[in-house]
Amino acid sequence: MSHKTISPRPVRLASAWAQSVAIPRHGMWVRRVASVAANGTSTLPPLDESPPPVPASLRPSPRRKLLRDAKPFSDFLTDTFHRQHDYLRISLTEKCNLRCIYCMPEEGVPQSPHRELLTTPEIIMLSSIFVSQGVNKIRLTGGEPTVRRDILPLMQQIGALRPYGLRELCLTTNGLALHRKLEGMVEAGLTGVNLSLDTLDPWQFQIMTRRKGFDAVMKSIDTIFELNRHGAGIKLKINAVVMRGINDREIIPFVEMTREKNIEVRFIEYMPFDGNKWNEGKMLSYSEMLDVIRDKYPSLEKVRDHENDTSKTWKITGFVGKIGFITSMTHNFCGTCNRLRITSDGNLKVCLFGNTEVSLRDILRKSNNDEPIEEAAFEAMKKIEMDRRQGLADASKPLGLAPNEQELLDVIGMAVKRKKEKHAGIGELEHMKNRPMILIDSGGQVPSMASMPNSWRTIRYTSTATSLVRAVPMHLLSQGLDINRQIRLFSSSHHHCKDDTGARLTHVSDSGSAHMVSISDKTPTKRTAKAVCSVKFSDETAFRLISENQMKKGDVLGVARVAGIMAAKRTSDLIPLCHPISISKVTVDLAAASPQPAKPGGPVSDARGNYRVDIEATVSCEGKTGVEMEALTAASTAALTVYDMCKAVDKGMVVEGLRVVLKEGGKSGTWVEGINENLPQP
């Protein structure tokens, strides 16, 4: 069978899917690597007979051909700050064979049901869509990607996208099992490995990863160097998360690795994710790490970085390798960020530190009756497309295996368009709810597309900060809706946390995320708060029954008093961002206030002209935080109990005037309602 050479330019999705490419497993893989590296093209079997070859003298030069075929970069992958996202990271699994202390909680994380995770055909389909739009670099991550059983055939299928514009296929791994699969990965087109290694001490390795395996990791590194000596051309980077007091003493030994080996060691500032017990004291900054290296090697000098590099690159004179610094906490690189992430359960994250995601999986599965797309369904889709290209099916249908390809692109475009200029700063990231690092590519449990009405097909939008799930009707996304309105549909808040005077909402970060305020540096003091409110009746009936203790439900004031005390002790369970505290005393006083006659025998009336129950709740503690919320919870719950017990006889009751009237203790001293200035603390 004849073969044709396909130019390396982006094409529509179906062209990549419709051709099953078998990577040859026989012979020397080095020959294949050298061949592809030399001409930048690969040969694929055609779907039909190819035309006679064009004489070499009539073919345009490669440069002229690339210029002729060049297309504007996809608008779907361009955000409002003109950043072009040509780099895609795909998580293949939530599982990992290590338990690194900065990556996940010690107890591990819950695993998603298998059905919720992307299948191999779904990963290939999404990869093809992004490559068709201009993505030229794909990195496979996890969890730990090498634990996925079908990692090699999956990489072969992604590697087959090279003729369509994919230039780099990379892997991020802990290296534990890499050496056993590395040669097959190179055959599949692997071009780069980022290997996570935080210590060169075998004993410290076991402490930081909670597992054994240092020797296996070093064997993987040696295997990479061995394959590179035979022409594999794998770019190796070692990523080390530096934590003060844990592995910061190993900065210089890591630097020494670059003396004689063509390797880049990248030091990463310790970053906060759920469950990794982050605190600023453990973080060693970029500038501090530079000072440590300069003290030993004064010839350290800056290397010019590429536009989209995440790291700041340095080099020591005479050393073969390089040193990099990933400075997410102190010097973000958001201005040139070109990265998108697909989680293992099919969510698209436009920012590593963002906590909003959209589900591509659910939209993709609409083409398969909301079922996971397994190999059989994938093969059927490919056959339909091949028949269509050969004129055996309806040629009027749009090019693409999935009938909702355009819908996917619309959703991707909307998500990219709402990407912010930069992520939150160091003061907000530590409080912002996000996935644990191990699950940065996986998500929580939310309703699937199959569980929603056909008339309300949705994008799944998850905000882990508030555990909200929002449904956006698909018909609003596909009929030319104004993009600003589309962006508002995705927004969880307007992120206003400061006013013009600089006043700040303490529980809201600059990025708009809710977080619990730290009280670790506060001094325990005696604290008291008093809150009041009233239940106003519409007539004297309920008041009379309460006064005579004739209400059918029993002693209204006594039950309400107990309810208020119980509620004060449960405040942290009811108010999400309240700290649980040890309360030393709660009192709830209720008084039935009746109107007084203006004169004997005259009409009943007081200054307020009503029948009511006045409620006063006082809460005290010895602690680091105030008890205003406990007092308010006690007063309001007591009022609601009165309302509940009296509603059968009075439908017109009103609960009013809930407020704090006294606060004592803490840094701000004493505050009393009606007095503008704080009184000094005794």
β-partners of residue 311 are 326
**Do the beta carbons of residue 666 and residue 623 sit within 8 Å?**
no
d(CA 423, CA 629): 31
pLDDT at residue 25 in the model: 35
Q: Which of 356-360, 441-445, 462-466, 503-507 has the highest mean pLDDT?
A: 356-360
The tokens for 351 are 């920012």
Count of beta carbons in the 10 Å neighbourhood of residue 402:
25
Scan for tokens 């002693």, then name that residue.
555
Using one digit for the tens of pLDDT, what is the confidence trace for 299-312? 999 998 887 777 89
Using one digit for the tens of pLDDT, what is the confidence trace for 242-283? 988 889 999 999 999 999 999 999 999 876 544 445 456 678
Residue 60 has pLDDT above 60, yes or no: no
Q: What residue ranges define each of the domains in the chain, with the CATH number in brackets? A: 69-390+397-423 (3.20.20.70), 525-594+610-672 (3.30.70.640)
**Neighbour-count burial for 405-439, b at 16+ CB within 10 Å, e otherwise:** bebbbbbbbbbbbbbbeebbebebbbbbebbbbbb
Mean pLDDT of the residues in the chain: 75
d(CA 83, CA 269): 24
pLDDT at residue 359 in the model: 92
Using one digit for the tens of pLDDT, what is the confidence trace for 142-166? 889 999 999 999 999 999 999 999 9
Of 492, 488, 489, the C-alpha closest to 433 is: 492
**Do the beta carbons of residue 404 and residue 423 sit within 8 Å?**
no
* C-alpha separations of 7 from 40, 55, 67, 341, 425 in Å: 9, 16, 12, 27, 43
Q: Which three-class secondary structure state does DSSP give residue 317?
A: coil
Give the whole-number percent of the chain exceeding pLDDT 90.
42
Report angle CA 240, 245, 251 to the nearest 5 degrees: 40
The predicted model gives 32-54 an average pLDDT of: 43
Q: Give the residue with greater pLDDT, 594 vs 323.
A: 323
Give the whole-number percent of the chain exceeding pLDDT 70.
66
pLDDT at residue 106 in the model: 65
Residue 639 has pLDDT above 90, yes or no: yes
pLDDT at residue 278 in the model: 43
The tokens for 265 are 């060691």
Report angle CA 471, 473, 477 to the nearest 5 degrees: 120
**Do the beta carbons of residue 406 and residue 248 sit within 8 Å?**
no
The predicted model gives 32-47 an average pLDDT of: 41
β-partners of residue 395 are none
Using one digit for the tens of pLDDT, what is the confidence trace for 539-568? 888 888 888 888 877 889 999 999 999 999
Which residues participate in catalysis according to the annotation?
A: 644
Output the DSSP codes for 656-670: EEEEEEEEE-STT-B
pLDDT at residue 181 in the model: 96
**Neighbour-count burial for 332-362, b at 16+ CB within 10 Å, e otherwise:** bbeeebbbbbbbbbbbbbbbbbbbbbbbbbb
**Do the beta carbons of residue 577 and residue 507 sit within 8 Å?**
yes
The predicted model gives 339-356 an average pLDDT of: 86
pLDDT at residue 297 in the model: 97
Pairing of strands 654-664, 339-342: unpaired
